[in-house]
Copies of this chain bind each other. A is one copy, B any other.
């Protein structure tokens, strides 16, 4: 699909078919695209843990926040990708903290993951609130690793896309001067 169209139809999906998981071959293909993302000094400060089956079924409990009434829809999500920030190696001459660009790098990669999924009819939703300690226990993630996001994945229950709400173009971009 033309990328302009893909960027339009990509949306945060919060309603999944629980009986149709993404198969491993497609998930691997999506993850290979994801790792083709750029990163500062090509440092690739990431590891993606794709969860399916019984392991995926344990994740909604670590995401749902009854108090905030958010993420209640995750019980029907068949797949999750847990996005971990690993130690980055930057050019030493930059003289900055090794993780200075890591969050932006993870954003670059998560974006690729969402587009690679959408291009295959797979829905995604990026989740930033979760019980990191329990997640680390379940997925054998070392203590020193930071989990930055969980991406819910699966086939959307409903067809079609919603209208996107974005701030006015004049607030989002300009030419040759900020204001």
Q: Are B3 and A119 in contact (CB under 8 A)?
A: yes
Q: How far is the CB of A158 from chain B (nearest CB, A)?
A: 18
For residue A176, which residues in chain B have a CB less than 8 angstroms away from its CB? 49-53, 55, 139
Number of identical monomers bound together in the oligomeric complex: 2
Cα(A2)–Cα(B148), bound, Å: 28
Indicate whether A104 sits within 8 Å of B101 (C-beta atoms), given known contacts A115-B3, A173-B50, A178-B49. Answer: no
B3→A44 contact, CB < 8 A = no
A72 at the interface (CB under 8 A from B): no
A49, B177: Cβ atoms under 8 Å? yes
Q: Which residue of B lies closest to A167 (CB)?
A: B44
Q: Please provide the chain A residues from 29 to 74 with a CB less than 8 Å away from any CB of chain B in the complex.
A: 29, 31-38, 40, 42, 44, 46-53, 55, 68, 70
